[in-house]
């Protein structure tokens, strides 16, 4: 009876709310890479009906946070060394173009400034880091460039979650790098904005790749 009452109380919970909470668990590595994410488990975890859980999972699959093969449960992706290399190199191309466009206009989106200010206010900096980059790219004039960026950002979120979980960089270091990019945009210095953005993204890539290499070596030794 208590279980039934809980389900009734949670019947109004939107799939988007469940998707946001599940996304946060995955990014924080509470659901490790390779973990199966089933409708029944999500329904039980969040106290919702299975159709709500299914919609939430489908949204994360569409965003690249989860992967699903035909007739199988969705899983948290396990990104390889080559996956990370390709992902961050492609991200660098897209974001440097976006920063150059912003610098030409000399304007910074308010959403990016809000995310930047929030970055050091919490230990969970991954969320605000991602919001900062999304807001900057969305603020440049090309809708196609924004769509290209969104295709990458689900997997980027997974990577930044690993960076945060392994403490490969601090929120203050990220904030300092972001500030340099913002200063260059405000000054209308496209070349510097591009260069700092490239260094920022590829620096995170290199930290993560070194970490992945270390983990692989430890697994081999054991």
- Predicted confidence (pLDDT) per residue in 146-200, tens digit: 999 999 999 999 999 999 999 999 999 999 999 999 999 999 999 999 999 999 9
| CATH superfamily to which 81-221 belongs | GntR ligand-binding domain-like (1.20.120.530)
Token readout for 76 is: 């948290």
Query: What are 45-97's pLDDT values in tens digits?
Result: 999 999 999 999 999 999 999 999 887 889 999 999 999 999 999 999 999 99
In this predicted structure, the answer to whether residue 205 has a pLDDT above a threshold of 60 is yes
Tell me the C-alpha distance between 186 and 161, whole Å. 29
Decide if pLDDT at 11 tops 70. no
Q: Which sequence spans correspond to the domains of the chain?
A: 2-75, 81-221
Residue 111: per-residue pLDDT: 96
Domains 2-75 and 81-221 share a fold: no
**Domain 2-75 annotated CATH 3.30.750.24:** no
pLDDT tens readout for residues 97-138: 999 999 999 889 999 999 999 998 887 889 999 999 999 999
- Quickly count: other Cβ atoms within 10 Å of residue 46's Cβ: 17
The pTM (predicted TM-score) of the whole model is 0.85
């Amino acid at each position: 009876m208590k279980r039934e009452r809980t389900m009734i109380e949670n019947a109004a919970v939107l799939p988007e709310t469940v998707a946001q909470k599940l996304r946060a668990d995955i990014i924080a590595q509470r659901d490790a890479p390779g973990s199966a994410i089933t409708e029944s488990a999500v329904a039980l975890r969040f106290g919702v009906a299975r159709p709500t859980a299914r919609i939430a999972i489908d949204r994360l699959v569409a965003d690249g946070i989860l992967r699903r093969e035909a007739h199988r449960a969705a899983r948290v992706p396990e990104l390889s060394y080559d996956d990370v290399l390709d992902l961050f190199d492609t991200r660098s191309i897209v974001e440097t173009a976006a920063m150059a466009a912003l610098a030409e206009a000399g304007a910074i989106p308010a959403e990016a400034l809000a995310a930047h200010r929030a970055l050091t206010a919490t230990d969970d900096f991954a969320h605000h880091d991602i919001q900062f980059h999304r807001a900057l790219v969305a603020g440049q004039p090309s809708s196609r460039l924004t769509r290209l960026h969104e295709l990458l950002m689900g997997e980027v979120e997974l990577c930044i979650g690993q960076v945060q979980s392994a403490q490969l960089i601090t929120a203050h270091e990220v904030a300092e790098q972001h500030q340099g990019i913002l200063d260059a945009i405000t000054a209308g210095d496209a070349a510097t904005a591009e260069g700092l953005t490239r260094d920022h993204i590829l620096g995170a890539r290199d930290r993560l790749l070194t970490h992945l290499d270390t983990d692989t070596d430890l697994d081999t030794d054991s």
